[in-house]
Structure 1
């Protein structure tokens, strides 16, 4: 059943959920957010898992952790990158934070971000939900990694990754 569900979703579905204009606005929101803290935020939306993940019954979390590495979110100077990952075929939301931030933020705080995003996605408000999630992650990063007047560094691309 899982294989069928994933084969029904493709990249076009992700682009229907988040059209090009929404992707541009989200990238701008990430860039704006990164002016207020010393961290890095990446957003990735994937329609379905690759077959290799489905064959071995890998979870959305495992895929998110793999993409955290592939997108080099782990490779920030202060180990404070955050990946917000959506897997549309399973309605899964994962947040993967690097060790510099994750040790300072409780599981409850991450669950709050995920819960808010889940409500918006269930209502079909993908862009609004991601904007709010970026804002919540921004608050966590600003608290833990304030800029202290230093010019922000942009270590990673701001564009949303759609797979």
Structure 2
């Protein structure tokens, strides 16, 4: 195993779910959940947040990236399975202070990959500074703006909006 891989392995083994709960306590998770709910009232998309303290050992052994794990979680959490194919996963990996935005095909057709990367880069400063809640709020707001622009809620809709995915962040 290469030296960098050992270093990465140690970094990931030092983080666990208790650490995740320290950086995102219950009050912060409640605020993030409300932010997602408020956002989803303005568009027909779905936003799902997944925060993992570290990668599973199987990912570390094969030197998988945070992006690869985010794509897997996108599928496991069924973000790809929304009615309008416009779900977005906001994925945060605490051990590497990495954020990944994974959008379903309908929204991906509207937003260039470079734009997604620019959003991730802009939010990176908050995570590097340890401001995880603020970084996630910025992510929600950025995704909200894209969904409102491309999939706004029908202004004349009288029926309650179907909420296809949980609004509460998943902490692992």
Normalised by the length of structure 2, the TM-score is: 0.91
Point out where structure 2 has 5 or more consecutive residues left out of the alignment. Answer: 1-6
CA contact (8 A) 2:52 2:94 kept: yes
What's the CA shift for 1:123?
2.0
2:46 maps to 1:40: yes
CA RMSD of aligned residues (A): 1.1
Number of the residue aligned with 2:55:
49
CA contact (8 A) 2:90 2:100 kept: yes
2:128 maps to 1:119: no
CA contact (8 A) 1:116 1:133 kept: no
What's the CA shift for 1:133?
1.2
Correspondences of 1:13-162 after superposition (within 5 Å):
13-149=19-155, 150=157, 151-162=160-171
Normalised by the length of structure 1, the TM-score is: 0.96
CA contact (8 A) 2:98 2:127 kept: no
CA contact (8 A) 2:92 2:100 kept: yes
Q: State the Cα deviation string for residues 52-74 of structure 1 (Å, max 9, x = none).
A: 11112111111100100111100
Point out where structure 1 has 5 or more consecutive residues left out of the alignment. Answer: none
CA contact (8 A) 1:68 1:83 kept: yes
Which consecutive segments of 4 or more residues in structure 1 shift more than 2 A? Answer: 150-153
Aligned residues: 163
Q: State the Cα deviation string for residues 28-59 of structure 1 (Å, max 9, x = none).
A: 10000000000000111101011111112111
Separation in 2 of the partners of 1:128 and 1:87?
Answer: 15
What's the CA shift for 1:112?
2.6
Separation in 1 of the partners of 2:165 and 2:12?
Answer: 29
Number of the residue aligned with 2:4:
none
